[in-house]
A and B are shown apart, each in its own frame.
Chain A
Amino acid sequence: MTEIPTNYLDPRVLDKVARLELRARLVVEGFVTGMHKSPYRGFSVEFAQHREYVPGDDLRHLDWKIFGKSDRFVIKQYEEETNLRAHLFLDQSESMNYGADGTMSKFDYAATSCASLAFMIQQQADAVGLTMFDETVCRQIPPSNTRQSLGHLFSALEGAKTRDQKTKIGTVLHELAGQLRQRGMVMIFSDLFDEPKDVIQGLREIASRGHDVVVFHIMDHDELEFPFERMTMFEGMEQLPELLCDPKSLRDAYLTEVNGFAEEIRKGCLAQRIDYVRVDTQNPLDVVLTSYLSARTARSKRKK
């Protein structure tokens, strides 16, 4: 059996997350097998209802008894007990490598979040997969609920490093949308440094295929506050140029740009019924996940 790396699994964080019940809002009922009923009417052992046959339905599911009694073609539908298929998308472009002095980089923060969630999902015997990308998809681990698969996932996270590539999340999401055949939950961890409309388009494509999408917008505290005082030479990542400036004089304008960008993404997500979570890497990881999951659980209960 593969030894599970535990350096991402901060016990304090996982302790808090494990005591929460993760519930899907629309499609996925729950992470843990047996605790959730799938809203999807599938073809399992427990009958749910009949419906009228429409051309194209599988003839194996015709209820011949009803046909015999009433001369109507009716299809039998069953309540399906489903497992959650969670897809974790992790951005490993160069910009994710940024981290304020003495703090965790955005990438490390995002990877830790991925590991925590993957562990928790696996604890519920649900399937979890991992996709790492920058300009293109770099590595994929298909969803699985085995511990071996989880070990692969942890190894992949542990061995991953940011690459000197730009973020092209719109293109990548478009590519991944075509690959995700079964509906599930997609959690994206990225700083989303791409054109907002491309990002939103990519998210829309995934959401339109029935996936429950959660966007964790990972931002460093410096990027959100721009707290610098002295004359600074900013060396652009992702092949962008340098700029020598007085940060104080640009702070307002910069924050306007950043907040405008985040707001545009947030509105795009809201329009697609996508959860948008803005994460400040200065905040403790457990607090962020707990807050989100609590809020999501509350939302889900209100709907019921």
Chain B
Amino acid sequence: MQFLNPALLAGALLFAVPLLIHLLNRQRHKRRPWAAMEFLMRAYQKQRNRLRRENLLLLLLRCLIPILLALAIARPLLQDAIGLLTGGGTVHHVFVMDASYSMGLRVDGSRTPFENGRAMVTRLLDRFEKNPNRNDKVTLVTAGVRTKFLVRGDLDIASARAGWMQMQKPEDGAGDLTGAMQQVLAALNETNDPNTQVYVFTDMQTRIFGDSLVKEGTESGPELTDTLRDMVAELQNREGLQLHWIDCGPLATGTLPANTGGVIDNTQITALRLTEPAAVQKSPAEVIATVKNLGTSTASCEVTLDIDGGEPMRKVIEVPAGGEGEADFQLAFRTPGTHRVRAMLINDVLAADDERFLTVDVRDRIRILLVDGKAAGDPLQSYAYLWESMLDPDENTLPMFAVEVVDIVTLLGGQCTPKNYDVVVLADIERLNNRAAVALSDALRAGTGVLCQFGPQCEIESFNLHLHAAGDGPMPFRLLPPIGGAPGSSTVRSPSIVDMEHPLLREFEEDVYREILQAIPMWRWHGVAADSLHEDAVTAVRVTDAEQTPLFVSKPFGEGQAVFLMSPIGSEYDADRWNRLDDPMVAFPLLHGIVKWLALPATDPFAAIVGSELSCSLPARPQNVEVQRPERDGRPRAPIAEAARALPGGRFALPSYANTIFAGFYIYDMELDRESGKEPLRLPFAVNVDPVEGELLYPSRAEAQTALGVERVLDALPAIATENESNDRSELGPSLLLLTLLLVLGEAALARFVAARRS
């Protein structure tokens, strides 16, 4: 019930004054012995009922007067009072707002569909707040990154409105209206409201209809379950429920004709990537932004790119209608560490998909630990000779790799720590022990890449025991003894590329290099037990022998990748070479490809889609974790109270953050609790939109109505929500004041009458 002066309602408490007087009067009586008690008792028994009636009536009148007076000066409103008396107006209003990022479409500075819908919802809430019928309930649902119930069946319209006002703009997710309607239906099934009004505000983008939309060449949509149309049908069949489908998109505003629908031109950045797998400081790098034109005409797109918020670089590209273009930016990262790269399109109708974010982990060098199985012999025949000569052959350029060569004793003795390197190469070492195997596994879990070359010196059982570990280790197969002919003999095979898309072979894109690789002679190689090959193992290259023995096999383990080479790449000065993979035409791209790929973790947790949960593994326990959200989010830093979870290998999982509803950089700030003390750490995560929502295609109004199975899709609020808006309230204050006056007169007359009778 609403009052114009609600504070004055407190005056109703004065009703207690007559009661208090009555009670005090009873307390303050005089005691008197009385002889003629029988006469008094008889008189009392005869008069008791009448006296009680008179006293009760007087007391009621005297209590009622301050209550009515307080009501009168608080000025109640008529419809509320009627609702209070009749119990009418019990309506459950359910607002479902499409909060996907296509609702942020802004054509020529006009209001976005979201702003249109929001204004309508706010108008309704304002009206409900000013004129709240008894038991009216409000449910506010947004279909954005996830379906979110801002308010669920709230009776307090003011708090519902306050909850709604927090929703200032659409989220950057690709909304799932069908899922939202499913959840609304489930929520309504839990209630038993006799009168429910459901209002759905959306831009009617083709994407929301999914399979409900009639395909070309068919007369009706497919008979599927759980489509949007099924949800609509189920809602409409519900007794006492009215569904209002309100278009606040370009068809409603006249941007597109309602009878035909159409497309609104939109360009978006669908990808942002480094051409090199790993970035090294001061080394040239190329960043490519892929731009997609979802419009109907060629678009000239100006793309800017900035690093860590610095001075942006600009590039203008022409992108054909429906096609893609790439804007490439040549740059070099001056300092090691994690850098934030942002690409942005200028002057576009839909802002959310005009930005793309990327985090780049830049190293000073790619640190390689080479465990050389021939370190003790002739240096020219060692594996180190080949690796050092191949990785940084040009003395005039800055070295990209830092190779540290150790012998097997250093590894087995635990005098080196593999997880401190980006890549560990086991070059034809004889065997492993448990300590070395554990160190290698921990390094892999921490993201270090491991390349294992099996050569003539390898003891098969040692590797099967420690690296295969009955299928639990990083080696995804059981190693078999060497097969093939004698080096240099006529029994020769060659490599055969199985998976050209494998990152190991990224340097062999050109046909000539592939042919060279596949022409390389292979005399000996280790066999692989075919039945032991792990399902996660990927074979990139095989040997052209009868068994099609895998030559290059990779498998992710922890956060790192392990690559196994069945025939080692040796030195050209070694007469007992099993192959000629040391040919510079092959060795150079092969080693570069292997090392750069292995230097990256198996998965990149720092690149995510809006709505994803952010987390990664850390080498020490994080403390005082906070998340700085992107500018578009607008909210302050969020401390994360959740404790870090311990992972195998002495690592810890960063406490996750799931509320990624806007695209941009989510920057974790924390302190790592290391043995040497607290170490501050800053980790930026790049969160990007799903480009599918950026296709601004809208069906005609008729198609939309058919797809939804509704009679009408509205352009504005339904009449039921706006009728009698101005006439639905009138003030009861004067009437109550008159009634109070009558009661005062009545009380005075009754009191006088009673007093006269008793005097």
CB distance from B133 to the nearest CB of A (A): 47
Q: Provide the bound-state CA to CA distance between A261 and B43, in Å.
A: 12
Closest 10 CB pairs of A and B: A253-B43, A236-B37, A98-B35, A95-B35, A257-B39, A240-B37, A234-B34, A231-B29, A248-B758, A254-B43
Q: Does B36 contact A (CB under 8 A)?
A: yes
Q: Provide the bound-state CA to CA distance between A254 and B40, in Å.
A: 6
Q: Does A48 contact B (CB under 8 A)?
A: no
B35 touches A191 (CB 8 A): yes
A249 touches B32 (CB 8 A): no
Instruction: Give the interface residue-count category, chain B.
Output: 20 to 34
A232 touches B32 (CB 8 A): yes
Q: Provide the bound-state CA to CA distance between A95 and B38, in Å.
A: 11
A258 touches B36 (CB 8 A): yes
Q: Does B727 contact A (CB under 8 A)?
A: no
Q: Does B189 contact A (CB under 8 A)?
A: no
A106 contact set on B, CB distance < 8 A: 35
Count of interface residues, chain A, beta-carbon cutoff 8 Å: 37
CB distance from B182 to the nearest CB of A (A): 70
Q: Known interface pairs A240-B37, A248-B759. Does A232 touch B42 (Cβ–Cβ under 8 Å)?
A: no
Q: Provide the bound-state CA to CA distance between A106 and B33, in Å.
A: 14
B39 contact set on A, CB distance < 8 A: 254, 257-258, 261
A240 contact set on B, CB distance < 8 A: 37-38, 41
A236 contact set on B, CB distance < 8 A: 34, 37, 41
Q: Does A271 contact B (CB under 8 A)?
A: no
Q: Known interface pairs A193-B38, A237-B35. Does A230 touch B46 (Cβ–Cβ under 8 Å)?
A: no
B47 contact set on A, CB distance < 8 A: 249-250, 253
Q: Interface of chain B, helix or strand or loop or mixed?
A: helix
Give 9 A-B contacts (CB < 8 Å), ordered by A residue: A191-B36, A230-B30, A236-B34, A243-B37, A243-B44, A244-B26, A249-B758, A254-B36, A257-B42
CB distance from A139 to the nearest CB of B (A): 22
Q: Provide the bound-state CA to CA distance between A258 and B25, in Å.
A: 27
A250 contact set on B, CB distance < 8 A: 40, 43-44, 47, 51
Chain A 85-115 interface mask (CB, 8 Å, partner B; 1/0): 0000000001111100000001000000000
Q: Does B31 contact A (CB under 8 A)?
A: yes
Most buried by B among A95, A241, A252, A253: A253
B35 touches A233 (CB 8 A): no
Q: Does A49 contact B (CB under 8 A)?
A: no
B34 touches A98 (CB 8 A): yes
CB distance from B28 to the nearest CB of A (A): 7
Q: Known interface pairs A243-B37, A243-B44, A257-B39. Does A231 touch B32 (Cβ–Cβ under 8 Å)?
A: no
Binding site for B on A (CB under 8 A): 94-98, 106, 191, 193, 220, 223, 228, 230-238, 240-241, 243-246, 248-254, 256-258, 261
Q: Provide the bound-state CA to CA distance between A115 and B337, in Å.
A: 128
B41: which of A232, A243, A258 is its contact (CB, 8 Å)? A243
A252 contact set on B, CB distance < 8 A: 757-758
Q: Which residue of the partner chain A has the closest CB to B30?
A: A232
Binding site for A on B (CB under 8 A): 25-26, 28-44, 46-47, 51, 754-755, 757-759
A248 contact set on B, CB distance < 8 A: 755, 758-759
Q: Known interface pairs A245-B44, A254-B40, A256-B43. Does A235 touch B33 (Cβ–Cβ under 8 Å)?
A: yes
A257 contact set on B, CB distance < 8 A: 39-40, 42-43
CB distance from A219 to the nearest CB of B (A): 8
Q: Known interface pairs A249-B47, A250-B43, A253-B46. Does A235 touch B36 (Cβ–Cβ under 8 Å)?
A: no
B29 touches A232 (CB 8 A): yes
Q: Provide the bound-state CA to CA distance between A228 and B35, in Å.
A: 15
A193 touches B33 (CB 8 A): no
CB distance from A110 to the nearest CB of B (A): 13
Q: Provide the bound-state CA to CA distance between A193 and B29, in Å.
A: 27
Q: Which residue of the partner chain A has the closest CB to B28?
A: A231
B31 touches A233 (CB 8 A): yes
B41 contact set on A, CB distance < 8 A: 236, 240-241, 243
Q: Known interface pairs A237-B33, A249-B758. Does A231 touch B43 (Cβ–Cβ under 8 Å)?
A: no
B757 contact set on A, CB distance < 8 A: 249, 252
CB distance from A250 to the nearest CB of B (A): 5
Q: Provide the bound-state CA to CA distance between A270 and B39, in Å.
A: 23
A235 touches B40 (CB 8 A): no
B32: which of A97, A235, A238 is its contact (CB, 8 Å)? A235
Q: Which residue of the partner chain B has the closest CB to A248?
A: B758
CB distance from A1 to the nearest CB of B (A): 39
A98 contact set on B, CB distance < 8 A: 33-36
CB distance from B54 to the nearest CB of A (A): 8
Q: A236-B41, A250-B51 are in contact. List 12 more A-B contacts (CB 8 A).
A: A95-B36, A98-B34, A223-B36, A231-B25, A231-B26, A233-B29, A233-B32, A234-B32, A243-B40, A244-B26, A249-B754, A251-B758
Q: Provide the bound-state CA to CA distance between A130 and B42, in Å.
A: 34
Most buried by A among B32, B34, B42: B34
Q: Which residue of the partner chain A has the closest CB to B34?
A: A234
A230 contact set on B, CB distance < 8 A: 29-30
B30: which of A223, A231, A241, A261 is its contact (CB, 8 Å)? A231
Q: Which residue of the partner chain B has the closest CB to A94?
A: B35
B43 contact set on A, CB distance < 8 A: 250, 253-254, 256-257
CB distance from B20 to the nearest CB of A (A): 15
Q: Provide the bound-state CA to CA distance between A235 and B33, in Å.
A: 4
A235 touches B31 (CB 8 A): yes
Q: Provide the bound-state CA to CA distance between A248 and B43, in Å.
A: 12
A254 contact set on B, CB distance < 8 A: 36, 39-40, 43
Q: Which residue of the partner chain A has the closest CB to B41?
A: A243
CB distance from A39 to the nearest CB of B (A): 40
